[in-house]
Structure 1
Amino acid sequence: MSGSLSSAPGAVRSRLPRRVTVLLPVLGLLVVALCGLFLFGLATARVGWLAVAIGVVAALVPVGVVVAGFLWVDRWEPEPAKLLLAAFAWGACVATITALLINSGAEAVGDMLLGSGAGSKVSALVSAPLVEEAVKGAFVLFIFWRRSSEFDGIVDGIVYAGFSAAGFAFTENIYYFGRAFADYGFGNGANAGVLAAFFLRGVLSPFTHPLFGVMTGIGFGVAARTRQKAVRILAPLGGYVVAVCLHALWNSSAILGGSKAFLTVYFLIMVPLFIGVFYVIVLQRRREQRIVAAALPRMAAARWIAPSEVELLGSLSGRRAWRRQARRESGKAAAKAVGQYQASVTELAFLRRQRLRTDDDRRRQDELLRTLRSARAEAVRLATDPTG
């Protein structure tokens, strides 16, 4: 929902030349498209188009679950859909091809310096954790730096990092699932090979890449909530270091330790860590609800919202019921207008929490108030005349 709000030009973006605001998205799409085509061609050359097609179908299952999970996290203050899509595309295309090129180089250097076969271990244990967590986190850094209005705290960091990592895992799974099919071909062995790969990467560990990336996202989320310069620098770096260490531990348990070490790391470290992160997410969602609930009475007193709407806007179930009623009585357009109105209320609640420290904050409040009033007027108009 906040995507409709963020389309209003902010103070920073309004100062950018139009040729920049138009060309940058186009260039970004071209880069993503070229990276995607290169990866598709490379995978097809290695395992064949049929194996790639099977890999795509198999990879859709775990990525669907992971993306749905991050959308659930992003309920109170949904991030712009276009930025979430960009994060996924970055991870699936740009981050993947960057990591592939650097890791391949590291493998070649390792083979040259340490002997044949050693390069793959160097790549998996050193290069992959350092490079992959860096390129996945690069998109979060971009949002944190250039779109600070869309970055309010830990939940936002988790969501952006999670979508970038989900895209990365999606492309990686396509190749691994496709390679398993190509190695075993048709027949009894194919079923066992593909199912084993799917169970390992799609059932047992679909959350590993997102979990590593979330560590970096949490670091940026902590940085977004502080004005201390040292914390704004050290928190993201700390999150990145944790992500790298977890990634290296995961890879080493699979490569060096055998099945016993792998299962030990999985059940004693990764699963508890996942549960811990989930608990943090639940706490942060409750914090977001408290921020909105605390702001609603003041917004009603300022006549930004109606007093009768305070209870409806104070819970996700109340908001959902309101949108459903609008859809049932007045159609999809009315439900969309109500959703936009609800999103602007949330954005205003988070902005008011900052006490309008800067002129940019005050300008953004004015933009959000215009959006709120426009959405309310549209919802009322459609409720009065659903035919438009």
Structure 2
Amino acid sequence: MLLPVVVLVVLGICGLTVLGVVAGSIGTAGVLVGAVCALLPVGPVVAAFLWVDRWEPEPPRLLLFAFGWGACVAALTALLINTSAISVLEQTLGQETGALAGPALVGPVVEEAVKGAFLVGLLVLHGREFDGVVDGVVYAGIVAAGFAFTENILYFGQAFVTEGLGGASGGVLVTFLLRGVFAPFAHPLYTAMIGIGAGLAAGSRSTGFRVAAVLVGYLVAVALHALWNGAATLFGGVAFFGVYGYVMVPVFLALIGLVVWQRRREQDTIAQYLPEFARQGWVAPSEVRLMASMAGRREWRRKVRARSGRAAARAVAEYQAAVTELAFLQARIVRGTAGPDADQWRRQALTEVHQARRRAVGRADEAAR
């Protein structure tokens, strides 16, 4: 119990510190308005990444930790380092030049590093939860969504304090349109590059490739972030819409295409190993067809919910997720990329499959009685 408590305490301290710094900058009213506006885009963004993660949902505790890391630890670290670095640039290059160069040069390097640190830590310490590129994109997106939530509070609050809801420069309305409507996936898009690198690293046996994949992902994330910030702050912002339309939108569409392709590969992996699991007695032969596609899984849960209730349907969903994780792990073991803990992870995964199946059968029996 000690580790979760320590983690919560650290996140709480970082969150309160960020809140205090932001409140000192924009006041209580700015924080309240900023928080309300920041809540509107973060919900759909998080929901989108959870939808991507439907095949084998990641543990809720890790997803909450990812969001908290982005919103508290990463936001506080970036705020402190960025402020200090920009101050140095202003003293070295002049106040106006330093204030413009800081967001384009310092911010991307620092922010992507502190967000990417969570992905690297997860890859090293919880390698079993990292099955590939989709997992990397999901964790990266959740971390970045937390970071963007805190950053948006500051931006929306500043717009409210200086311009109000409207104003000559648009105030909160224009800021919300730019950050909450046109670019809610900006931070997740940058950090997803690190997530792709971490996902590729999880599927490789080469230490050199693993390091290189994460490093290249980080550099691409920094480049995209710097390009976006530079287009918005340098040269009077005239390049902003060009970068948005010709760089960010195509990259975002390419990311969607990559995730769809990886999801299809995951479905093929599951379909490949389900017959073997049935022969081993780990799943029932009648369940192979139901688990081989998302449509079959939804239909199975729908029928169970109609016959036995929501609790039984949730238990079936947990059983489906446990079988999926076992299939992904088996694929990694066959490829030799699961590492030295592969046997232990497989025993744990098998135990979770059997426990989940017993819960599903038990809930159905309870409903029948």
Q: Would you call these one fold, judging by a TM-score over 0.5?
A: yes
Deviates more, 1:375-384 or 1:102-111: 375-384
The partner residue of 2:348 within 367, 378, 381 is: 367
- How many angstroms apart in 1 are the aligned matches of 2:292 and 2:238? 48
Matched ranges for 1:83-122 at <5 A: 83-122=62-101
**Conserved 8 A contact 2:203-2:332:** no
User: Could you give the per-residue CA deviations for residues 351-371 of structure 1, whole angstroms, max 9, x where no partner exists?
Assistant: 221336566322322222222
Identity of aligned residues (%): 52
- How many angstroms apart in 1 are the aligned matches of 2:239 and 2:317? 49
Matched ranges for 1:73-152 at <5 A: 73-152=52-131
**Conserved 8 A contact 1:218-1:239:** yes
Matched ranges for 1:53-72 at <5 A: 53-72=32-51
| RMSD of aligned alpha carbons | 1.8
Say yes or no: does 1:167 pair with 2:111: no
AA in 2 matched with 1:316 = M
CA shift for structure 1 position 284: 0.5
Match of 2:202 in 1: 224
CA shift for structure 1 position 259: 4.0
CA shift for structure 1 position 300: 1.2
The partner residue of 1:179 within 141, 158, 176 is: 158
- How many angstroms apart in 2 are the aligned matches of 1:96 and 1:355? 37
- How many angstroms apart in 2 are the aligned matches of 1:161 and 1:341? 26
Match of 1:19 in 2: none
- How many angstroms apart in 2 are the aligned matches of 1:121 and 1:190? 22
Match of 1:37 in 2: 16
Consecutive unaligned residues in structure 1, runs of 5 or more = 1-21
- How many angstroms apart in 1 are the aligned matches of 2:236 and 2:243? 11
CA shift for structure 1 position 191: 10
- How many angstroms apart in 1 are the aligned matches of 2:196 and 2:367? 44
CA shift for structure 1 position 212: 0.5
- How many angstroms apart in 2 are the aligned matches of 1:225 and 1:208? 26
Match of 1:323 in 2: 301
- How many angstroms apart in 2 are the aligned matches of 1:230 and 1:355? 20
Match of 1:12 in 2: none
Deviates more, 1:361-370 or 1:206-215: 361-370
CA shift for structure 1 position 375: 2.1
Say yes or no: does 1:23 pair with 2:5: no
TM-score by length of 2: 0.94
- How many angstroms apart in 2 are the aligned matches of 1:68 and 1:274? 17
Match of 2:283 in 1: 305
- How many angstroms apart in 2 are the aligned matches of 1:206 and 1:381? 43
Q: Which runs of 4+ in 1 moved over 3 A?
A: 355-359
Deviates more, 1:278-287 or 1:36-45: 36-45
- How many angstroms apart in 1 are the aligned matches of 2:164 and 2:224? 34
- How many angstroms apart in 2 are the aligned matches of 1:265 and 1:247? 11
User: Could you give the per-residue CA deviations for residues 37-86 of structure 1, whole angstroms, max 9, x where no partner exists?
Assistant: 11212222222222211111111111111111111111112111110110
**Partner of 2:167: helix, strand, or coil?**
helix
- How many angstroms apart in 1 are the aligned matches of 2:365 and 2:40? 43
CA shift for structure 1 position 387: 7.8
Deviates more, 1:31-40 or 1:142-151: 31-40
Consecutive unaligned residues in structure 2, runs of 5 or more = none
Matched ranges for 1:308-387 at <5 A: 308-355=286-333, 360-386=341-367
Number of residue pairs aligned between Structure 1 and Structure 2: 366
Deviates more, 1:34-43 or 1:197-206: 34-43
